[in-house]
Amino acid sequence: TGKTWSALQLNFLLAKSLANEHKTKVVVPLLIRVQRLVRILRTAHKSGALDLITLYIDEEYKDKDPKWRVMLSQALQMRALVLIFDGIDEASGRREIIEDYIMTLVPLALSVVATSRPEGVRIDKYRHGWVVMDLERLSEKQMKAMVSNQLEGSQFFQKAMDFVKIR
């Protein structure tokens, strides 16, 4: 969707900016898929503002090079981690817990971006200290271009698009 695509693009652009050695402040993005965070929450026994992020990092990067976990943990301690929560509205029965948790991160001087459908959050919680933006709906042409880029070379997609043209 548009919110997920925007979160992925932000994550990519921030990661790409890490290559610029002349920056005065380095930021490290961490894309947090809220559905995954909720699954981790169900099995977690830790609590506290930073523990959940640490738990997410440990869980998401447990099968990867340990340097990733170390780097992300250090960035978190240095307040250089940009936390990109994608899909607050997808937290099902844990949405309020996730929202309340996110609210505890901002006073800790952490950079936080959160995506959601408008009806998926308690918007009054974001009135102070947040920048609230609405994404414009994608045009049909934009949707086709996005899907085409994602499924480039897919015979199934091409046949489906040919069928749509016939109709």
pLDDT tens figures, 66-125: 999 999 999 999 998 999 999 998 888 888 888 889 888 888 888 899 888 878 788 888
- In whole angstroms, give the CA distance from residue 113 to residue 14: 12
Strand partners, 33: 86
Residues 113, 118, 123, 129, CA torsion sign:
positive
Residue 81: CB atoms within 10 A of its CB come to 23
pLDDT tens figures, 117-164: 878 788 888 877 787 777 777 777 877 777 777 676 677 767 776 777
Residue 24 phi, psi dihedral angles, 5° rounding:
-80, -30
- In whole angstroms, give the CA distance from residue 38 to residue 61: 16
Return the half-sphere exposure (C-beta side, CA atoms, 13 A cut-off) of residue 52: 22
For the question of whether the overall pTM of this predicted structure is more than 0.95, the answer is no
